[in-house]
Structure 1
């Protein structure tokens, strides 16, 4: 029976444990994948607390952690085309990445390029693909300026790199301790905290053309005032707040085409997923604590098998 890291109730870390689960069976449109690597994300521990997106399905317990994974196809379900056992793939796990075997939706899974490392592939479906979706929706012309509010996190790091590749000017808010890191991404650093809007105005006297918010709350409200056209505001952290301010949430595509695009950027050397630390599956709890407690810098990935 395949081993997985699960939570058996909603609450804190005390609900987490390893479990031997029945072998998953791929239904229509699904792939059974032997996991080689799985990304660790804030949404993983948030779901353990009982969080779920509005309108999303209720979580069945025990629930396997992990929303992104890379591995080798073992079996394909009915109505699946373009995949066969032995294919190296990566994609959106939904739930289930922290496991020896998981199910991936074929529509949200892409073939892994040979030049793409397993750990990098597993780090792309959530953060990098979210950044790609946001910038695609904003569709800013070359030379425009985008403010990434919270550039130091996984989505912000990818957004800064992709935006620079698109010919955009990037201003990024982050703590003073992340100044050098922010500047290494090609972004103009602005210290986060009260008064951030005035500091952005000083750093970008020509104004900003769009805001990609990854913080929410009061920081979102403050930077929103920088925009004359609030439709150019998108948030991955505070959908309700963005809507109240005249903006919107990031619309996720979760398609193989987006995964192909971000993978190509990594292979071309344009995008660095910033995988800064890896843990074996046996240390999944420690990996999740590093993300939950805010000690991680860059992406953390579990290695499996």
Structure 2
């Protein structure tokens, strides 16, 4: 089979396409024939050597969609079953999805029922699931003013599409470091785009709900733009900062709340609930860019570039 392997930390050129034996199943693990996967910023962090505890060589990739090719759980995961996998230690403690066949622990494989194409389904697991869980945790009402910090990211685009399917007329504002992306953001559902400059929002306004995708790097500033009784959901870490020094009594909005969500908070039930939401409400889950396995390095370059927008996916095989 073909696999993209990284032998040492570095740039996209360290992602090497090579031939490898198809992995053999073992107790508690099943083999998935990969049909596609999304490319994520966390994989870029790992590629650069910034993920603690990850050794090399490694096949990266924290999510995938595909079918069961060989199983050790024929009742729950019969051969031919359509599945997705998200997070766990995939692509970190063991080889991930940047290959044509992946060996994955059974408890980390989720059987799904969906009519989405492989291309659209590949854009969903990590990105739409994260956006969906964040939307639920924000407890949004139809009259709330909502801000998404890091709106041009894959999760930011997915969140806008999901929210529009739930609340057609809600006021939704997005942030971007570059206002050149304003047209793209308005096309996916944002009413307004404001600039995020040097970690500060270039507006005096406050919001009922804030989805924080930049993370600890800008969380203090987000608190200062949250209305009393508002909710901030800290979901992403696009700012490259993982921890925050917080004085909650002084910094949290009056009578407000701080919550969080990440794709490791996953269940088979919620995954299928999300897929049903997307299909029943006709949410556009199409990725912005599609690459082949041979061009994974180009997908990394695209995601790191200043002009990236939305979700990039890789399709494998037939």
The Cα of 1:51 is off from its aligned counterpart by 2.3
Tell me the alpha carbon deviations over residues 186-227 of structure 1, each in whole angstroms, 9 at most, x when there is no partner. 3222321349646261xxxxx422211112466443232022
Alignment of 1:159-238 (within 5 A): 159-167=159-167, 168-174=170-176, 175-194=178-197, 197=201, 199=203, 201=205, 207-216=206-215, 219-227=218-226, 228-229=228-229, 232-237=232-237, 238=241
Alpha-carbon distance in structure 2 between the residues aligned to 1:91 and 1:73: 11
Q: Where in structure 1 are there 5+ consecutive unaligned residues?
A: 202-206
User: Aligned-residue CA RMSD in angstroms?
Assistant: 2.7
Match in the other structure for 2:116: 116
List per-residue Cα deviations over 1:262-297 (Å, max 9, x = no partner).
322332354223412222212222222211234432
Evaluate the alpha carbon distance shift between residue 181 and residue 75 of structure 1 in structure 2; reply closer, same or farther with a 3 A threshold: same
C-alpha distance 116-106 of structure 1, shift in aligned 2 (>3 A):
farther
Could you tell me which runs of 5 or more consecutive residues in structure 2 were left unpaired when the two chains were aligned.
253-257
Quote the offset at 1:229 in angstroms. 4.8
- 2:162–2:278 contact (8 Å) kept in structure 1: no
Q: Structure 1 190/106 Cα, relative in aligned 2: closer, same or farther at 3 Å?
A: same
Residue 230 of structure 1 deviates from its aligned partner by 7.1
Residue aligned with 1:37, SS: strand
State the shift of 1:303 in Å. Answer: 1.5
**Native 8 Å contact 2:287 2:312 kept in 1:** yes
The farther-off stretch of 142-151 and 256-265 is: 256-265
Q: 1:185, CA displacement in angstroms? A: 2.8
Distance change in 2, residues 1:117/1:242 (3 Å): farther
Answer yes or no: is the 8 Å Cα contact 1:107–1:256 preserved in 2.
no
Q: Measure the CA separation in 1 of the matches of 2:204 and 2:187.
A: 18
Measure how far apart 1:81 and its partner are. 4.2
Of 248, 257, 261, 1:250 maps to: 261
2:78 matched residue in structure 1 = 84
Matches within 5 A, 1:242-281: 246=252, 247-252=258-263, 253-281=265-293
Count of residue correspondences: 294
SS in 2 for 1:191: strand
Match of 1:282 in 2: 294
Residue 58 (structure 2) aligned to one of 49, 55, 63: 63
Q: Secondary structure at the match of 1:261?
A: helix
Contact 1:281 1:304 in 2 (8 A): yes
Report the counterpart of residue 132 of structure 1 in structure 2. Answer: 132
Q: 1:208 to 1:69 in 2, by over 3 A?
A: same
- How does the TM-score come out when normalised to structure 2? 0.81
1:241 Cα shift?
3.2
Q: Residues 170 and 51 of structure 1: is their aligned pair in 2 closer, same or farther, counting only changes over 3 Å?
A: same
Return 171-180 or 192-201, whichever deviates more: 192-201
Aligned ranges 1:34-49 → 2 under 5 Å: 34-49=33-48
Q: Which protein has the bigger helix share?
A: 1
